[in-house]
Structure 1
Amino acid sequence: MKPASGASRRHLPTSPFKPPPPAPPVEQFSVNDQVTHDRYGLGVVLAVEDGVGVIVDFGSQQERITTPYKKLHKL
């Protein structure tokens, strides 16, 4: 038996099962937004790299957070 691949399967219109929900939109950040991160805490966005990531100043350190921003939330 083959292992499951990471690619998503397409939904057939005749299938009795519901199609998978669409992916939620990626949250957009701009410079000087106040954010919180599950690991690093409170911070301020210093730079935005379109579609790639953001650089955030958390006070004691600066971190580059890449998309998708699962643990980063705008305040």
Structure 2
Amino acid sequence: MRKPTVTKRHLPTSPFKAPITPPCERFAVGNQVTHDVYGLGRVTAIEDGVAVLVDFGSLQKRIPSPYSKMTNL
């Protein structure tokens, strides 16, 4: 079982720069995507900011946000 990822809080008075979080990637119906686990697929539906439904050919998967393992092609 995987431990949940815990992010540390950045204090405004810290001499170190705050970590920059990349913006959440946007997908549209019909986009071709690649997933680290499932491979190449096409977006078939979008649940606004919550999840994306992707058809990977042999299976359809609901990928919840954040989409860290999925990228647009």
Taking structure 1 as the reference length, what is the TM-score of the superposition? Answer: 0.80
The structure whose Rg is larger is 1
Length, aligned pairs only: 68
RMSD: 1.4
| Residue equivalent to 1:11 | 11
**1:58-69 maps to which residues of 2 (within 5 A)?**
58-69=56-67
Query: Does the C-alpha gap of structure 1 residues 22 and 33 become closer, same or farther in structure 2, counting only changes over 3 Å?
Result: same
| Residue equivalent to 1:40 | 38
1:23 positional shift:
1.2
8 Å CA contact retained: 2:10, 2:18: no
Query: Does the C-alpha gap of structure 1 residues 49 and 8 become closer, same or farther in structure 2, counting only changes over 3 Å?
Result: same
Percent identity of paired positions between Structure 1 and Structure 2: 54
Q: Distance in 2 between matches of 1:50 and 1:63?
A: 16
Taking structure 2 as the reference length, what is the TM-score of the superposition? Answer: 0.82
Q: Distance in 2 between matches of 1:9 and 1:27?
A: 23
